[in-house]
Structure 1
């Protein structure tokens, strides 16, 4: 009788896990969690039920609950790479970055060929202001999955932190090769090109960003700042006014402090936009 009851409970739990996964696929995370609760009640050693409940908790931003479930999963299966990975993600969301890196390291020990683990490890290392180690992680991720535009973009962030601006632009070039409509990469590329005094190339980059996202105050502001560096008051005013119309507080404040506007900030046409 005991054996029969155990088998039935395990079968019921498996069915409930499948139902929970169906809820997750439809974005119904609270219902998924309720279903996994039932699965765990049927079989408290169901690794899948604990794991997917943790994943659903991450989607509802209940990271503490997710961590508890991942700990249970890892007690049941210490070599479950995705559980170590999920634990690291939850810790990173709670800003527990050193501990997150430890979890990612454990995940990599179990599954060294998972590009997403290397990527998330790099992100945590960036938060810890360890750009060189982050860059190594992003390179590992790219070696596994060469066409992840997110990883190439994060790689650019690490390179900028290391003051390797031309290399960072090269990474952003790769981003827009992979995903041409990545407007924020075009914007960041333009900003970095201005740091190298390549103003025409920067203008082209900001225009590409606008091409892919029309309501794009960052690109408009980038154009304004580039024309300011070129000393073109009239065109600076044109784009600055458009950016400020979209978000008056942020972009007027930025332009008041941005060194790119220093040479023309007191010009009547510019000062009237910033202070009137």
Structure 2
């Protein structure tokens, strides 16, 4: 791994300072100046990629992380951030694979777990997403955002289950509008009640069919 040029170091620190003040576009310029002098510094590529993410330039960010990983393939943070960039580009499977790589390198990489959970949630793989946020909480029990996201994944899972049960019940009963409303309006507070009522209605129809038979 190449040693960072002294002048490149000054550009790097200037970029860091600009990121602190959220002036990410100017930070990218500073990292470019640093990379002209130290093109084989993986941290510079990773930091440029981070700043590009913050400006919404996800394709360029992913390319920067590729540069960083070509130099240092064991950089768990670069893998995690590449996954984050790919997720924003709609490449969800690739994003999960990057997070998995990061977690093989560092099983307690909180941001990798969080990114993985977020992407899996977008993919409607709610149980797996919930497990990711549980992993975050096992590492950092005080991370309230993980608990919040875990609970949202559980809500979405239960809502998806209700929608599936409604489709199944429609084959044998007229599903009440109030139950449909719970699903359509994303009324998470009443999902459990709606599922319980729907199952009871279906059981009644089944019992009546058996009695007739």
- Scaled to the shorter chain, the TM-score interval is 0.7 to 0.9
The answer to whether structure 1 residue 127 and structure 2 residue 122 are counterparts is yes
Deviation at 1:84, TM superposition (A): 0.4
Deviation at 1:126, TM superposition (A): 1.2
Residue matched to 1:193: 189
Asked whether the 8 Å contact 1:88–1:99 carries over to 2, the reply is: yes
Give the TM-score normalised by the residue count of structure 1: 0.56
The answer to whether structure 1 residue 91 and structure 2 residue 86 are counterparts is yes
> What count of residue pairs does the alignment treat as equivalent?
167
- Which structure's relative contact order is higher, taking Cα pairs within 8 Å and 6+ residues apart? 2
Structure 1 gap ranges (5+): 1-5, 165-190, 198-276
Runs of 4+ aligned residues of structure 1 deviating over 6 Å after TM superposition are: none
Residue matched to 2:57: 62
- Whole-angstrom CA distance in 2 between matches of 1:105 and 1:130: 15
Residue matched to 1:41: 36
Deviations for 1:186-205, whole angstroms, at most 9, x for unmatched residues? Answer: xxxxx4334456xxxxxxxx
One of 122, 146, 150 as aligned partner of 1:151: 146
Give the TM-score normalised by the residue count of structure 2: 0.72
- Whole-angstrom CA distance in 2 between matches of 1:33 and 1:163: 43
The answer to whether structure 1 residue 142 and structure 2 residue 124 are counterparts is no
Residue matched to 2:48: 53
One of 112, 115, 129 as aligned partner of 1:117: 112
Asked whether the 8 Å contact 1:126–1:158 carries over to 2, the reply is: yes
One of 16, 21, 29 as aligned partner of 1:21: 16
